[in-house]
Structure 1
Amino acid sequence: MRWRDGRRSSNVEDRRSVRLSGKMKGGGIGIVILALIGMYFGIDPRIILEQGAQFSGGPTVEQADYTPTAAENELADFVSVVLADTEDTWTQIFTAGGQSYEKPTLVLFSGAVQSACGFAQAATGPFYCPADRKVYIDLSFYRDLRTKLGAPGDFAQAYVIAHEVGHHVQNLLGISGKLQQMQGRVNQVEYNRLLVRLELQADCFAGLWANHADRTRQILEAGDIDEAINAAGMIGDDRLQQQSQGYIRPDSFTHGSSAQRVRWFRQGYQAGRVDRCDTFGADDL
């Protein structure tokens, strides 16, 4: 990915020197839920908290000396460029549709973080909080992406940011709010199906960003799209469930199968249009 000459976003909040700690109450199952959902990338943390994951006494806040390594500084620089590129892309798309795009803030943290959606640890992975309209990421996740999930490459890393920004776009368009209202009105299996459609749309929006960014700023290099497609395939619910528990339960999917995630990222990339990312209106995912 050609990123070094790109614009840096001013909407990055660095909290890596803030150390938070806390204990989850309600038993070990809460930690398991957080860890598993983190592997899937960016489910709304409010959903986790509403299912019983709570912290007793609140997190402890400490200010610590923090000296990032050269590699961490480069990653922070990288995500700032990717964020800026998503800003440029979605500003153009919203403007063309007669709307204004509100840019999200990206929060860098280390270990744990307090968001408007609650207290989260690095195990949750990158996530978007609609309550404060911020994307949160512990940069150590990229190491896990490469070594544990088998998805190396800078464009795989960019896909992660673009997917979370896709959730921000859904929030601005009122899509995620409508889905949140459905919680409790439908059974859990049906709600999971709606979550799958939400996540696949965020994948499609990530592909749409790649299309626009390359057409306007020529950011792609050979193999970049393959890196993103590989990442999408590595985090399908079917693959992760098979790895973690040895069997697959489609009715518990919340993000879609590997094939579905690849398909919708590719759909966004090839079409480059918001209306081609209507996963909620699709008969076949």
Structure 2
Amino acid sequence: MFAILGVVVLGGIGLLGVSNALKHNDSPYSSPSIPTSTDSPTYEPSEEPSPVPATATSRPTAPRTTAKPTTTRPTAPRTTSTPKPKPGPTDTDLVLRNKLYKAGGMKSVNCTESRSRPSTAAGARANYSTLLKCLNKAWPSIVAKAGGRFRSPHVLSFSGTIQTPCGSYSDSGPPFYCGSTETIYMNLSEDIGNYNRHPEAYQKVWARMWMLHQFAHEYGHHVQNMTGILAANSRIRYEAPTQAAELEGSRRLELQASCFGDIFIGSNRRTYPVTGESLFQWKWLILHWTDYNNDHGDGVNHQYWATRGFNSRNPNVCNTFAASAGKVR
């Protein structure tokens, strides 16, 4: 989102227990036999007992044992060491050294502009639908190479005030992206109003280019979300020591979203097309606006990052987090 684009609002694995049944069998048991009286030897006492010697001639000897008694030492169960899991990327890694920057350039998907004009709600929605299909073809392979899981964002259009999981917003403000629901909210009132406000043909071209740029920018936030940049930036900004540092983090995020959006526009500039008057109006709009809240970047810096994306068509030129502070004012 730009200054007139809006705000990005961010938003276990269940363990399955496996039990094994223990089985045991009773051993057979035999009772010992009891001797009967017939088994006993016959004993008849003599009339006179035998004399007992005064001293015993021999002492009973205990049986000798040749083997020493053995003792069984308890053995401790052997433990095998498991490797510690490698730590995941830090928030700084995710924004500064994201794999997205090495994923390669974007190829054209031969996207063409909708024949409908945003003079009505139906016309504007037809343009949103066309752009969504094109962007969903352009980004999946790049997101996958960056290690992200691609999924299409939801797109909702609104007029008046809208209640969302990310808060309440009015059509007096810009479109926006809600990260917690992965939804792009496009401002119908703005897009229809821009197109119908002026009768001049070049103004209508400007309105169409503005709508294109806005949609691609919000989709750029979705790309940040799928690759971990959006959430990491939110955490970094939350921990920022000063408001100035927090605002700088916001500008880096917003300028990057525009750079990502213009990668798509540049990749499809021949087929959409963005040539002639359309190219002129695109160049004009990326420079001319005011960053009222100092959270989206000024016109000069926005033009710098948008042009880089448009010309190179590669995310490696969009690393705003590695840029000097002067390039993200």
Superposition TM-score, scaled by structure 2 size: 0.58
- CA 1:99–1:177: 2 relative to 1, 3 Å: closer
Q: Structure 1 residue 270: deviation in Å? A: 0.5
Q: Quick check: 1:236–1:261 contact (8 Å CA) kept in 2?
A: no
Match 2:227 to one of 138, 158, 173: 173
Q: Which amino acid is 2:231 matched to?
A: G
2:286 pairs with 213, 232, 238, which one? 232
Residues 1:93 and 1:223: Cα distance change in structure 2 (over 3 Å): farther
Amino acid at match of 2:309: G
1:71 alignment partner in structure 2:
120
Of Structure 1 and Structure 2, which has the larger fraction of its residues in strand? 1
* The structure with more helix, counted as a fraction of residues: 1
Contact 1:200 1:255 in 2 (8 A): yes
Question: Would the aligned equivalents of 1:87 and 1:103 in 2 still touch at CA under 8 Å?
Answer: yes
For structure 2, list consecutive stretches of 5 or more residues without a partner in the other structure: 12-117
How far apart are the structure 2 equivalents of 1:272 and 1:235? 24
Q: CA deviation at 1:212?
A: 2.1
1:44 paired residue number: 8
User: Cα deviations across residues 16-43 of structure 1 (Å, max 9, x unaligned)?
Assistant: xxxxxxxxxxxxxxxxxxxxx9852022
Distance 2:229 2:6 in 1: 16
Where does residue 213 of structure 2 map in the other structure? 159
| Structure with greater Cα Rg | 2
Greater relative CO, 1 or 2 (CA 8 Å, sep 6+)? 2
Partner of 1:257: 298
Amino acid at match of 1:203: S
Superposition map of 1:1-285 within 5 A = 40-45=4-9, 71-95=120-144, 97=146, 99-143=148-192, 145=194, 152-186=206-240, 187-214=242-269, 217=271, 219-237=273-291, 241=292, 253-283=294-324, 284-285=326-327
Segment drifting more, 163-172 vs 92-101: 92-101
Letter in 2 for 1:190: A
Q: Distance in 2 between matches of 1:278 and 1:124?
A: 27
Structure 1: give runs of 5+ residues left out of the alignment: 1-36, 48-68, 242-251
Q: 2:141, 2:279 → 1: CA distance?
A: 22
Instruction: State the TM-score, normalizing by the size of structure 1.
Output: 0.67
CA contact (8 A) 1:105 1:135 kept: yes
1:200-239 deviation per Cα after TM superposition (whole angstroms, max 9, x unaligned): 1011011101122236x553332323322322222241xx
Q: Distance in 2 between matches of 1:184 and 1:103?
A: 28
8 Å CA contact 2:119–2:192 kept in 1: the answer is: no
Q: Report how many residues are paired.
A: 213
- The CA distance in 1 between the partners of 2:295 and 2:142, in whole Å, is 28
d(CA) in 2 for partners of 1:94, 1:173: 7
